Amino acid sequence: MTDISVDGADRGGLCAGRVVVVTGAGRGLGRAHALAFAAEGAHVVVNDLGVTLDGSPDGTEAGPADLVVAEIRALGGSAVAHGGDIATTAGAASLVAAALDTFGRLDTLVNNAGFLRDRMLVNLDEDEWDAVIRVHLKGHFLPLKHAAAHWRAETKAGRTPVARVVNTSSGAGLLGSVGQGNYSAAKAGIIGLTLVAAAELARYGVQVNAIAPAARTRMTERTFAGTMAAPGAGAFDAMAPDNVSPLVVWLGAAASDGVTGRVFETEAGRITVMEGWRPGPTVDKGARWTPAEAGEAARELLTRAEAPGAVYGAGD
């Protein structure tokens, strides 16, 4: 459990008075983010549909969102639960409405919800592809769309917000991951969505960034089996989800002014600014190539290009 005392509203924490929505906040990274925002004085809307690792209903009587809200309130914080499906128009709209109806404003959206249905490509069914693309990519787009519509309306009314969006990509979206074609494609798409949103929404006072985290959660325990065990008492738990949340809180705060359209890889005590696609070695013939000439030119360019990072699991 996060070691916090949620009295940020009294202490004037980094996010004091801000209203923050976190999707998929019932467990893992989302829960850690919700607790960390509350510790810095934010009012938190805790969204979670309450599903198993593959997206099926978990069958529990008390939803995970309600449990996190209870944790926050027990520590003196302010939170409300939302159990809607944010990959639907109605669910995403009600998520934004929950913030506005409960707290009267919306300042930060953290898109985090997701699940896995891992298969090698030749075994990956169409419904498994669609389900993962839906919850990760569409589940980022719809809350972002509805939050942005609110912030645009605020700007047009003369109340330009200090708004923040933090999206959740993955190393799988940056490099690819064997057995996770659907997940890797969705997470790569989230990076593209982040860049477009940062450019389009800047005029409305909105900053949009993404993280590519690594931590011990339900979604990673199978992928990294045997390498993410919790350490002994008193040792630094490098894979704890709580290690990712400080950067997310800062990106979601007014203090991150001027930072937008960026992707940060974060795990343990390490933060890395990821540098995306940019022109490398190039050659211009000034006329049309023949296929053979194009191939020869491409091979020569590759001798001068930086090698790509290894796809996760490619050596297994």
List, for residues 259-315, the tens digit of each pLDDT value.
999 999 999 999 999 998 899 999 999 999 999 999 999 999 999 999 988 998 887
Q: What is the pTM of this model?
A: 0.89
Residue 235, pLDDT score: 80
> What percent of the chain lies above the pLDDT cut of 90?
80
Is 170 a residue of the active site? yes
Higher confidence at residue 126 or residue 235?
126
* 236 assigned to some structural domain: yes
Q: Extract the tokens encoding 195.
A: 């860049």
* 306 assigned to some structural domain: no
> What percent of the chain lies above the pLDDT cut of 70?
86
Active site residue: 170, 177, 184, 256, which one? 170
Pairing of strands 270-274, 263-267: antiparallel
Residue 222, pLDDT score: 54
Residue 170 CB neighbours (<10 A)? 27
Residue 57, pLDDT score: 54
Strands (E), 239-307: 263-267, 270-274
* 315 assigned to some structural domain: no
* 305 assigned to some structural domain: no
pLDDT in tens, 2-55: 444 444 445 579 999 999 999 999 999 999 999 999 999 999 999 999 865 554
Higher confidence at residue 65 or residue 59?
65
Residue reference for tokens 């050659």: 283
Higher confidence at residue 6 or residue 245?
245
Model confidence band, residue 216 (pLDDT cutoffs 50, 70, 90): confident
Asked if residue 67 has pLDDT above 70, the reply is: yes
Active site residue: 183, 204, 256, 312, which one? 183
Single-letter residue type at 180: Q
* 8-state DSSP, 57: B
Say if residues 54 and 135 touch (Cβ distance below 8 Å).
no
Q: Extract the tokens encoding 217.
A: 């959660």
* 8-state DSSP, 305: S
Residue 251, pLDDT score: 98
Residue reference for tokens 């053979």: 292
* 282 assigned to some structural domain: no
- List 263's β-bridge partners, or say none: 210, 274
Is 156 a residue of the active site? no
- List 57's β-bridge partners, or say none: 51
Helix (H, G, I), strand (E, B) or coil at 119: strand
Residue 59, pLDDT score: 52
Is 204 a residue of the active site? no
Higher confidence at residue 136 or residue 222?
136
Residue 5, pLDDT score: 47
Q: What is the CATH number of the domain that holds 12?
A: 3.40.50.720
* 3 assigned to some structural domain: no
* 120 assigned to some structural domain: yes
* 8-state DSSP, 67: H
* 194 assigned to some structural domain: yes
Higher confidence at residue 11 or residue 160?
160
Model confidence band, residue 215 (pLDDT cutoffs 50, 70, 90): confident
Helix (H, G, I), strand (E, B) or coil at 271: strand
Q: Cα separation of 314 and 316, whole Å?
A: 6
Say if residues 133 and 115 touch (Cβ distance below 8 Å).
no
Longest distance between any two alpha carbons in the chain, whole Å: 70
Residues 234-239: what's their mean pLDDT? Answer: 82
Residues 75-92: what's their mean pLDDT? Answer: 97
Give residue 143's domain range: 8-274
Give the chain's domain count. 1
Active site residue: 78, 138, 177, 187, which one? 187
Single-letter residue type at 9: A
Strands (E), the chain: 19-22, 43-47, 78-82, 108-110, 163-168, 206-214, 263-267, 270-274
Residue 1, pLDDT score: 39
- List 270's β-bridge partners, or say none: 267
**CA-CA distances (angstroms) from residue 40 to 75, 168, 260?**
12, 21, 21
Residue 306 CB neighbours (<10 A)? 7
